[in-house]
Amino acid sequence: MSPNQLHQKKYPAFSVVIPWYRDRTQLRRSVKSAASQTYTAEEIIVVCNGPGIGEATSISEEFRDLEPPIVVLSCAEAHANVARNLGLRHAKGSHVAFLDADDEFVPNKLATVAKHVLSKSSEVIICSGGVRVRANGKRWSFATIAKTEFETIGQYIIVNGNFLLTSGFIVPASIVQHVCFDVSTPKFQDLDFLLRAEAAGYEIEIIPQPLYIYHDEESDHRISRGRNADADVSWAKSHPNIDEQLYRAFCARFISQHVFPKNFSHNFFVLWKGHTLGKISANHTIAMIIRGLIHPKLRNFLFESYGKIRQSKASK
């Protein structure tokens, strides 16, 4: 079935929601990628938040002749989750595709997801893989492995070390009645949303195909780059959808491997608990120990090489 035949069905109809608060150049890139899909979106919603609200009128003017139509909303609070929820509540489509303003969709993103939506008898959350592009131009694909039938989303991400970001999420618009993004969560927003959505009964399907580009600019000011181990541990420990196994795996994968050399004996113990109680594989545990001990440049080279190997195996 061609993308044009899919679109004639009028279902699914996608509302693309883009939270934005700075850098008009990045916004133009993300909007262009959403507007250039082989399967046309119903609308593109740009939510100007924080300091970005002062440019809402000029953004509306700049994109007024765009097809599909662009809707510009304003949100005084500078918080991506508040902006995402506002866009979700105003969406007219049957499904909402989230896109961070510094990322971009590949041209067949919506067409690929539409086929998956049409093949399902019930509403599902679909998450796709992506391509991570660093500031130095190096890139690697992630989420190249599908989630198994009996694997929870927590096991897929925390235990088995797969990588999912909000720009890969497409959700039924009706989810707003049951699950929204938690505005009190400064980090792990993607993980938190998926954990709560699964607990609410939503099936989560992974498309192990890079359908968006994640621009990882090392010089930017993402909250996710900050490290506050105590706050991160406290968040995981109090999360209602993180049990003891996931907690042990979380502490190993998201905390100790990043601060390993600072307190060798303590972090080695946490990583060991991540293996024995968190069920992280022996290979992953050894890799995390090595990651904490080697020089960052060599580590990045090995990490990128490993990503290429995983991508090659997944494509066979």
Confidence bin at 310 (pLDDT 50/70/90) = low
Query: pLDDT for 10-37, tens place per residue?
Result: 689 999 999 999 889 999 999 999 999 9
Residue 262 has pLDDT above 80, yes or no: no
CATH of the domain at 117: 3.90.550.10
**Any domain includes 221:** no
- The upper half-sphere exposure of residue 84, i.e. CA atoms within 13 Å in the direction of its Cβ, equals 24
195/235 same-domain check: no
- Indicate whether 103 belongs to any domain: yes
Q: In b/e form, how buried is each residue of 6-30, taking b as 16+ CB within 10 angstroms?
A: bbeeeebbbbbbbbbbbeeebbebb
pTM equals: 0.88
| Structure token pair of residue 244 | 């003891």
- Please report whether residue 222 resides in a domain: no
Of 162 and 313, the structure prediction assigns the larger pLDDT to: 162
Q: Give the helix ranges, DSSP H, for the chain.
A: 3-8, 24-35, 56-62, 80-90, 109-118, 153-154, 189-199, 229-238, 244-250, 264-276, 282-293, 296-315
Judgement on whether residues 186 and 236 belong to the same structural domain of the protein: no
Domain count, the chain: 2
pLDDT average, residue stretch 205-225: 77
Distances in Å between the alpha carbon of 11 and those of 4, 44, 68, 117, 122? Answer: 12, 16, 16, 9, 14
Residue 120 lies in a domain: yes
Rounded CA separation 176/44 (Å): 18
Q: Give me the domain span that covers residue 298.
A: 227-315
Domain check: are 69 and 185 in the same one? Answer: yes
Three-state SS for 132? strand
Q: How far is CA 87 from the centre of its chain?
A: 17
